[in-house]
Amino acid sequence: MREGLPPKPVLQPLSILVLAGVSQALWAAWLGWDQQRDMQPDGTATGSYEAWQVSGLVLTLLAPVCWAASRGYIAGAVLGTTAGLTVAAYGDRSDDSSGLFIVGVGLVMRGSLVTTALASTVIALAKSDRQRR
C-alpha cells in the first residue's frame, strides 16, 4: 500500500469528480464568457467560439488528463473529463430555442470520450513501456 494515501479504488471515484470539476472550470474560463454570435460580412452568423478558444481548452485539458492517466486513474481521465465537458456544454447552450444544441452536446460528449480514451491509452502504454525498461 502506498504510504499516506487511501487505496486506489477509493481514489478512482474521487479522480472522476476532480477531473469533472476541472473540465467545467476550464470550459468556463475558455468558452463560458463568449456568448455572442459573430456576424459575417455576408450576413451569416457564426458560432460564438473562436478556434483559439477551443484550442486553448484542449491544450489546458491535456495537463490534467495526462496527470491522471500517468497515475493510473484512467476512469478519472476519461469519464471525469467527458462528464465535465458534457455538463458544461449542456449548461452553456441549453437556452437555444431550436433544440439543435443537443446535437452539439452529443458531439462534445463523443469527441471528448474518444479523445481522452485515446490520450489516456497512449500515456498508460508509454508509462508501462518506460517502467519495463
How many percent of the chain have pLDDT more than 70? 91
Domain locations in the chain? 14-29+49-132
Give the integer Cα–Cα distance in Å for 9 and 73.
10
Instruction: Please name the residues in contact with 24: beta carbons below 8 A apart, sequence gap of 6 or more.
Output: 84, 85, 87, 88
Long-range contacts, 1-5 (Cβ 8 Å, 24+): none
What pLDDT, in 10s, does the model give residues 61-76? Answer: 999 999 999 998 999 9
Q: Express each pLDDT in 4-18 by its tens digit.
A: 555 566 678 899 999
Nearest to 74 by CA among 16, 132, 20: 16
pLDDT of residue 18: 96
Separation between Cα atoms, residue 80 and residue 17, nearest integer Å = 6
